[in-house]
């Protein structure tokens, strides 16, 4: 059969002889392929490409030897310019299918680095393996070299494997919920400073001093943190103690400095994030007499970047560690017109103050009906919605439009080359 197109979620789409749609693992538009059906529903089937009979001219040899096994990079075997084209088309189709809107994507900002662009990676321990999960699986691939991360990350992971063997450290069992070591999370800033975060199920990290000593022998300047996380659903959550170093990683941009604690979110691709922040600032239409509210502010990246254009900026986030860092970041940068509130966005929205502009940067599930309604009640002139999930963005934009807003622009900022993930900024105006 012929692959028709790429769709959201990392799938390609084709149709069976009975005209039933099938979502496929593998394959690119216009390729003639052989497939295997894995499961079927009444109106939809799921399968995988077993053989490509006529490959696309856009294909290329993947750089990573783990490609096809690891679930991280789904598109490493097609040209980067084509990846950007496909992301544009997927975003348009999501809006057409979910929001019933025929939209144009005004801008697609490419990443200056196709590879080695990530400033954070979350490795998972599983038995004797340390790596990333297979696509739509809990099984871990033992990663020797990840090409979308700095090479140093792979070197640290290799050293961690050796330390586990030397000290006979107990690995967490994901089925029985017994054991200790769960994740190895690595951060690196644009100067090359490193933070090594060892995530455990337990409060106690066995041989923590020896782990620190052995790791420091090879990475003497790295901060080392022990994070205690009893929950399996989220990696970076829970109390932590600093084994070595400052316990924060500092990122410096042209204008501002940001300190990022171990458990706080920060954009994974800094050069693209800076382009996005610049775009958000332009699109929000700065006004020295206006009030801006930044919801899901994190460590205050967009709030602080936008602060010089407004009378007052209010940043809100439920993450206590992130808000504490945001306050520190405002102080470090001597920004006096920004206030940060540690509160659940839903609760904050209930008594949301009057404002002229709103920035939204929610998690993948988007914003709730309640938050959206409260924003609409305040009638800010412009809303900038930053989204990492096209489905929730299309759903929420439709609701804003139904409430009287106009979708003025859509722009993609490619934070995640070689993957199907799409970072989008939507400009909504009253």
Q: What is the pLDDT of residues 2-55, one digit of tens each?
A: 999 999 999 999 999 999 999 999 999 999 999 999 999 989 999 999 999 999
Find out whether 95 and 82 touch, Cβ atoms under 8 Å. Answer: no
Considering the domain boundaries, does residue 188 fall inside one? yes
Strand, coil or helix: what is 383? strand
Catalytic residue among 146, 149, 355, 388: 388
Hey, which residues does 227 pair with through a beta bridge?
A: 199, 240
Rounded Cα–Cα distance for residues 144 and 215 (Å) = 18
Token readout for 376 is 């609409």
Q: Do 304 and 418 lie in a common domain?
A: yes
pLDDT at 254: 85
Number of domains the chain contains: 3
Considering the domain boundaries, does residue 93 fall inside one? no
Which of 191, 223, 252 is the last residue in one of the domains?
252
Considering the domain boundaries, does residue 421 fall inside one? yes
Q: Which of 70, 238, 253 is nearest to 145 (CA)?
A: 70
Token readout for 321 is 């560690």
Q: Do 269 and 213 lie in a common domain?
A: no
Rounded Cα–Cα distance for residues 284 and 360 (Å) = 11
Considering the domain boundaries, does residue 295 fall inside one? yes
Q: Which of 384, 389, 413 is nearest to 400 (CA)?
A: 384
Q: What is the pLDDT of residues 94-112, one digit of tens each?
A: 999 999 999 999 999 999 9
Q: Do 297 and 213 lie in a common domain?
A: no
73 flagged as catalytic? no
HSE-up of residue 162 (Cα within 13 Å, Cβ side): 11
The label of the residue with tokens 């993930």 reads: 421
Percent of the chain with pLDDT over 70: 100
Considering the domain boundaries, does residue 260 fall inside one? no
Range of the domain at 40: 1-57
Strand, coil or helix: what is 412? strand
Q: Which of 314, 391, 393, 312 is nearest to 359 (CA)?
A: 314
Considering the domain boundaries, does residue 259 fall inside one? no
For the CA atoms of 235, 238, 243, 245, what is the dihedral angle to 10 degrees? 80
Strand duo 11-15 + 21-25: pairing: antiparallel
Q: Do 304 and 358 lie in a common domain?
A: yes
C-alpha pair distances (Å), 289 with each of 11, 175, 309, 357, 377: 47, 56, 9, 11, 20
Q: Do 275 and 421 lie in a common domain?
A: yes
Residue 9: CATH number of its domain: 2.40.50.140
**DSSP states along 319-380:** -HHHHHHHHHHHHHTT--SEEEEES-HHHHHHTPPP-SEEEE---TT---HHHHHHHHHH--
Which of 218, 252, 286 is the last residue in one of the domains?
252
Provide the residue-wise pLDDT of the chain in tens; the chain has 430 residues: 999 999 999 999 999 999 999 999 999 999 999 999 999 998 999 999 999 999 999 999 999 999 999 999 999 999 999 999 999 999 999 999 999 999 999 999 999 999 999 999 999 999 999 999 999 899 999 999 999 999 999 999 999 999 999 999 999 999 999 999 999 999 999 999 999 999 999 999 999 999 999 999 999 999 999 999 999 999 999 999 999 999 999 999 989 999 999 999 999 999 999 999 999 999 999 999 999 999 999 999 999 999 999 999 999 999 999 999 999 999 999 999 999 999 999 999 999 999 999 999 999 999 999 999 999 999 999 999 999 999 999 999 999 999 999 999 999 999 999 999 999 999 999 9
pLDDT at 146: 97
pLDDT at 136: 87
Token readout for 67 is 């490609």
Considering the domain boundaries, does residue 68 fall inside one? no
Q: Do 193 and 269 lie in a common domain?
A: no
Token readout for 311 is 């009378």
Q: Do 406 and 300 lie in a common domain?
A: yes
Q: Do 13 and 140 lie in a common domain?
A: no
Q: Nearest-5° angle of CA 122, CA 128, CA 131?
A: 25
pLDDT at 151: 97
Q: Do 219 and 320 lie in a common domain?
A: no
Q: Which of 241, 254, 145, 259 is nearest to 202 (CA)?
A: 241
Which of 223, 252, 281 is the last residue in one of the domains?
252
Token readout for 10 is 């990392």
Token readout for 204 is 């106690």
The label of the residue with tokens 């988007």 reads: 366
Query: Which strands form 287-295's sheet, in the order they lie side by side?
Result: 107-109, 406-413, 424-429, 382-387, 357-360, 287-295, 310-317, 338-342
Rounded Cα–Cα distance for residues 42 and 222 (Å) = 54
pLDDT at 167: 97
Considering the domain boundaries, does residue 403 fall inside one? yes
- Residue 249, classified by CB atoms within 10 Å of its CB into exposed (0-12), middle (13-18) or buried (19+), is buried
Q: Do 306 and 368 lie in a common domain?
A: yes
Residue 277: CATH number of its domain: 3.40.50.150
Q: Do 198 and 53 lie in a common domain?
A: no
Q: Do 398 and 287 lie in a common domain?
A: yes
The label of the residue with tokens 């171990």 reads: 262
Residue 210: CATH number of its domain: 2.40.50.1070
Q: What is the pLDDT of residues 126-144, one digit of tens each?
A: 999 999 999 989 999 999 9
**DSSP states along 148-159:** TS-HHHHHHHHH
């Amino acid at each position: 059969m012929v692959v028709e197109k790429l769709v959201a979620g990392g799938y390609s789409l084709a149709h069976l002889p009975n005209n039933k749609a099938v979502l496929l693992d593998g394959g690119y538009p216009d390729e003639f392929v052989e497939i295997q059906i894995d499961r079927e529903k009444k109106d939809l089937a799921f399968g995988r490409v077993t053989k490509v009979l006529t490959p696309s001219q856009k294909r290329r040899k993947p750089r990573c030897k783990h490609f096809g096994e690891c679930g991280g990079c789904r598109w490493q075997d097609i040209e980067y310019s084509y990846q950007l084209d496909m992301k544009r088309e997927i975003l348009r189709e999501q809006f057409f299918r979910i929001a019933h809107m025929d939209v144009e994507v005004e801008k697609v900002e490419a990443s200056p680095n196709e590879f080695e662009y990530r400033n954070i990676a979350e490795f998972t321990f599983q038995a004797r393996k340390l790596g990333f999960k297979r696509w739509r699986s809990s099984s871990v691939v033992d990663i020797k070299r990840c090409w979308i991360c700095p090479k140093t990350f792979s070197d640290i992971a290799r050293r961690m494997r050796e330390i586990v063997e030397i000290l006979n450290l107990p690995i967490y069992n994901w089925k029985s919920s017994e054991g200790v070591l769960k994740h190895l999370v690595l951060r690196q800033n644009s100067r090359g400073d490193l933070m090594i975060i060892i995530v455990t199920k337990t409060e106690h990290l066995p041989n923590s001093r020896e782990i620190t000593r052995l790791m420091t022998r090879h990475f003497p300047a790295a901060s080392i943190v022990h994070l205690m996380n009893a929950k399996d659903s989220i990696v970076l959550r829970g109390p932590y103690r600093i084994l070595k170093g400052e316990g924060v990683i500092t990122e410096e941009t042209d204008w501002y400095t940001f300190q990022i604690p171990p458990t706080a979110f920060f954009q994974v691709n800094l050069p693209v994030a800076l382009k996005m922040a610049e775009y958000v600032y332009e699109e929000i239409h700065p006004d020295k007499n206006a009030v801006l509210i930044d919801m899901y502010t994190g460590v205050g990246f967009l709030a602080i970047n936008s602060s010089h254009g407004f009378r007052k900026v209010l940043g809100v986030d439920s993450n206590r560690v992130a808000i504490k860092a945001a306050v520190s970041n405002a102080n470090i940068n001597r920004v006096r017109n920004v206030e940060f509130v540690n509160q659940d966005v839903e609760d904050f929205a209930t008594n949301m103050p009057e404002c002229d502009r709103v920035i939204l940067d929610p998690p993948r599930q988007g914003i709730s009906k309640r938050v959206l309604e409260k924003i609409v009640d305040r009638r800010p002139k412009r809303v900038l919605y930053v989204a990492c999930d096209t489905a929730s963005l299309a759903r929420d934009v439709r609701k804003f439009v139904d409430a009287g807003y106009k979708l003025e622009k859509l722009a993609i900022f490619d934070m995640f080359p070689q993957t199907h993930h799409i970072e989008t900024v939507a400009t909504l105006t009253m």
